[in-house]
Amino acid sequence: MIVIRQLLIIPLIFFSLTAFAQFTAAKHVIIVAIDGFRWQELFTGADSSILFDQLQVKDTAMMKSLFWHHDPIERRKKLMPFIWNYWASRGQLWGNQSLYSNVSVHNPYRLSYPGYHEMLNGFIDHRIKTNKPKKGKRDNILHTIASHDGFQGRVALFGSWERFNDMVDTGFVAVNAGYQLFETGTHGPDMRLANEAISHSSYKHLGTRPDMLTFSMAKDYMRAKHPRLLFIGLGETDEYAHQRQYDLYLNQAALIDKMLCELWTLIQHDPFYKDQTLLIVTTDHGRGRHRLNWHRHGIAVSGSREAWIMMIGAGVEPLGEMENTASVKLRQIPSLISNSLGLHYQPKHRVASSFIRLKPQSGTDHALSGNNKFSERK
Ligand SMILES: [Zn+2]
């Protein structure tokens, strides 16, 4: 009986390894999260019901000249030209609810900490239902991959929101968040400037630093250290939304579009990353759907569960804007990351599977081929 069982197991293991190798698409993954950025602005541009409200936009004439067009296809290009003039024809965009592409958060709380936990862990922990810090909830996808051969010392997180410090084990992952200086290693000009700005800032009492500082630090770290898995958490969109400053919220979205363009340029001009990096951009939750509640999100605000996911790079077929797709959840992102790297993410909790299998790279060596360790369950 034992012999028979062993005979059955060996082909199964072989099949499993083959399947993973076949779908290895990327050697490196970079994830950018834009906190509380609505699918409505991403897919249809500025919302007329809010854009012309003088209580939420200081100079409506200026904002109209910058971001308004009666056609939503043209309007979204005004807000995020890199996404709609470049990314859309080379990558994938999931979550346009009007095209029946539904991406949503699975956790019922629809707040940032539960959203990031879902996005980084692949399951819902009902002890994390507010944004208050919780220690000991750190064994997520970043932590798991950072412990694999080839990834040790090569996983990092830069976040605008200070709470990221509570989400990741700094013993495994290089973490820098909130008004925290980055003090280790040799610094390039971007990191030096960001450190300088942080040390002289009058806003250290706030929980979220400017996204441009986070982005500058992440860029500098990429050039110097070449992390293989990098998470960049941007937070100002959520801050401006809560303040009901729709003009600043839109300006920040336009600025992030430029950051993504610069990030993609950096990736494609660095031989380490070029053509072998998967870039994923997503959000931690949606927001209210109307003029009077768009600034809010949470369990009682309809629309807060609506999210989106964009991908470009290694293994991503250029399908553009997705239509009529099965429902996708944020909790599927960890499996998307691990599958694309040829790894198997299996923590103690059952995790959601990926929503897509990425295309294998043709004619190139696989990211982690020859190392069977990566298929072992942890
Ligand atoms: Zn918020």
> What is the 298 CA–ligand 1 centroid distance (Å)?
8
Instruction: Give the Å distance between the CA of 209 and the centre of ligand 1.
Output: 14
> Could you tell me the distance, in angstroms and rounded to a whole number, from the CA of residue 295 to the centre of ligand 1?
8
How many angstroms is it from 110 CA to the middle of ligand 1?
A: 9
Tell me the CA–centroid distance for residue 44 and ligand 1, in Å.
Answer: 21
CA of 112 to the centre of ligand 1 (A): 6
Per-residue pLDDT of the chain (378 residues; tens, 9 = 90+): 334 444 444 443 333 333 344 455 899 999 999 999 999 999 999 999 999 999 999 999 999 999 999 999 999 999 999 999 999 999 999 999 999 999 999 999 999 999 999 999 999 999 999 999 876 556 799 999 999 999 999 999 999 999 999 888 878 899 999 999 998 777 799 999 999 999 999 998 899 999 999 999 999 999 999 999 999 999 999 999 999 999 999 999 999 999 999 999 999 999 999 999 999 999 999 999 999 999 999 999 999 999 999 999 999 999 999 999 999 999 999 999 999 999 988 888 889 999 987 777 654 433 332 233 333 222
Task: Please tell me the distance between residue 237's alpha carbon and the centre of ligand 1 in angstroms.
Answer: 9
Q: Kindly compute the dihedral angle of the four CA atoms of residues 62, 65, 71, 73, in this order, to the nearest 10 degrees.
A: -90
Instruction: Give the distance (Å) from ligand 1 centre to CA of residue 332.
Output: 22
Could you tell me if 283 and 327 are in contact, meaning their C-beta atoms sit under 8 angstroms apart? no
- Structure tokens belonging to residue 208: 């979220």
Q: How far is the CA of 104 from the centre of ligand 1 (A)?
A: 16
DSSP string, 83-103: IIIIIHHHSEEE--GGGT--E
Asked if residues 280 and 94 have their Cβ atoms less than 8 Å apart, the reply is: no
**Residue 292 Cα to ligand 1 middle (Å):** 16
**Whose structure tokens read 């399951």?**
123
Q: 377: CA distance to ligand 1 center in Å?
A: 35
Distance CA 360, CA 358 (A): 6
Ligand 1 centre from 251 Cα, in Å? 18
**CA 325–ligand 1 middle distance (angstroms):** 28
Question: Could you tell me whether strands 306-307 and 103-104 are parallel, antiparallel, or unpaired per DSSP bridges?
Answer: antiparallel
Instruction: For residue 297, report the distance from its CA to the centre of ligand 1, in Å.
Output: 6
Contact 342, 369 (CB under 8 A): yes
In the reported structure, the alpha carbon of residue 301 is separated from the centroid of ligand 1 by a whole-number distance in angstroms of 12
Q: How many whole angstroms from 338 Cα to the centroid of ligand 1?
A: 28
φ/ψ of residue 142, rounded to 5: -65, -45
Q: How far is the CA of 242 from the centre of ligand 1 (A)?
A: 6
